[in-house]
Amino acid sequence: MRFFLILILPIFLFAHKVNLFLDLKDDNLYINSYFANAKPCMNCKFKIESNEKIVFEDILDEKGEYNYKTSLNDLKVIVDAGSGHTVSKKIKLQEQKNEEKIVQTEKIDKDIERLLEENRVLKNQINVLEEQLNYFEIFKIIFGLVLIGLIFIIIKRVKS
């Protein structure tokens, strides 16, 4: 029994772990923060640092997201979920391909620009969901191991 309690204990420890997803593209920093149970980090305080200086401070929206327009390319984001639960991550601007630069220089009408913006937001959300799915694999593995243990305990009792 003690063995199983020790196995289950890390699940509770991870329950309040805060995760942070960042994406820096087209002068926009996308921030998404969520807890281990996939719930968004609603109204959590965050600050953005560049070269160890605070450049911006605000709170995340009800989806745990924030889009910050910036021309800086080396940033650090710190999210404070309260009760000492903080998470920080650094991000650097990825080099854009030449083709993308050419496209950017062309005049894009507003509708296309809006669609691109929507597309970018959706892509970011997909990335966050993928990250969350990978994260939950660990819990599934732990759950599987606990189940194996329980099944064999039941078999042992039935057989004896």
Partner 1 sequence: MHISDGVLSLEVTVVSTIVAFGFFAYSFRSLNNEKIVLASAFSALFFVASFIHIPFGPTQIHLMLLGFIGIFLGSVAIFSISLALILQALLLGFGGVSSIGVNILIMGLASYLVYIIFKLNFLRALNEKIKFFLIGFSGIFISTFILFIHLIFSKDEYEKLSYTIILANIPTMILEGLVTLFLFLYIKRTMPSLLKGLNI
The residues of the shown chain that bind partner 1, judged by CB under 8 A, are 137, 140-141, 143-145, 147-149, 151-152, 155-156, 159-160
To the nearest whole angstrom, how small is the minimum distance from the Cβ of residue 155 to partner 1?
6
Three-state SS for 29? strand
Residues 11, 144: Cα–Cα separation, whole Å: 13
Query: Do residues 36 and 105 lie in contact, with contact meaning Cβ atoms separated by under 8 Å?
Result: no
To the nearest whole angstrom, how small is the minimum distance from the Cβ of residue 110 to partner 1?
43
Query: Do residues 77 and 89 lie in contact, with contact meaning Cβ atoms separated by under 8 Å?
Result: yes
Residues 126, 129: Cα–Cα separation, whole Å: 5
Of the two residues 103 and 147, which places its CB atom closer to partner 1 in the complex?
147
To the nearest whole angstrom, how small is the minimum distance from the Cβ of residue 60 to partner 1?
31
Of the two residues 8 and 148, which places its CB atom closer to partner 1 in the complex?
148
Of the two residues 38 and 152, which places its CB atom closer to partner 1 in the complex?
152
To the nearest whole angstrom, how small is the minimum distance from the Cβ of residue 149 to partner 1?
6
Cα 59–chain centre separation: 16
